[in-house]
Amino acid sequence: MIISPVAYRYARSLLDLSVEKDQLEAVQEDMALVARTCAESRDLQLLLKSPVVKADKKEKILNEVFAGRVGRVSSLFMGILVRKGRESLLPEVAAAFGELYRGRMGILECFVSSAVPLNETARAQVKAFAETKHPGRSIRISEKVDHALIGGLVIRIGDEQYDGSVIRRLADLRRKFSENPYVPEI
């Protein structure tokens, strides 16, 4: 998801407020819940983006959806977003808050795509590899199975990508074979 700068500003404000109120962990859990709920519910996404539905109705629906599931700080913050007319940014703000939280806590997200699910040995090797590249950071691994890779792994840490997949090697070979170094003698 591409996150707008405005969403980062709101997320940073929420982060500062949650630190001030000493509720950082609770707000992080709330924003993770909000992000999951928005991602899973197409109706909620459409409601938040709809210019036809009035702000007070949107705020009431959000209160009903998240009643008893999020804390007071998160609930009030969502109300502020709605009153400011920025309710369509709620999924982005929740995602941005997660990124800012991980950055504050020194947690680095490592995305691994593989042709088959990783076993414990491979998972430990990936974690060790990420720790050598980024010492002093806590590593969180997110795995995804992608059968199109045929074999091997693709590891993405931040903006760095390490591609050791079979499909990549085949593409390299195809490119190398297309370059014809043979020049016939005349």
User: Hey, what domains does the chain have and what are their CATH numbers?
Assistant: 5-103 (1.10.520.20), 107-178 (3.40.30)
Q: What is the pLDDT of residues 47-75, one digit of tens each?
A: 999 999 999 999 999 999 999 999 999 99
Please say if the pLDDT value at position 183 is more than 70: no
> What percent of the chain shows pLDDT beyond 70?
98
pLDDT of residue 181: 72
User: 18-50: per-residue pLDDT in tens?
Assistant: 999 999 999 999 999 999 999 999 999 999 999
3-class SS letters over the chain: CCCCHHHHHHHHHHHHHHHHCCCHHHHHHHHHHHHHHHHHCHHHHHHHHCCCCCHHHHHHHHHHHHCCCCCHHHHHHHHHHHHCCCHHHHHHHHHHHHHHHHHHHCEEEEEEEECCCCCHHHHHHHHHHHHHHCCCCEEEEEEEECHHHCCCEEEEECCEEEECCHHHHHHHHHHHHHCCCCCCCC
Given a cut of 90, is residue 178 above it in pLDDT? Answer: no
Residue pLDDT, tens place only, 144-177:
999 999 999 999 998 899 999 999 999 999 998 8
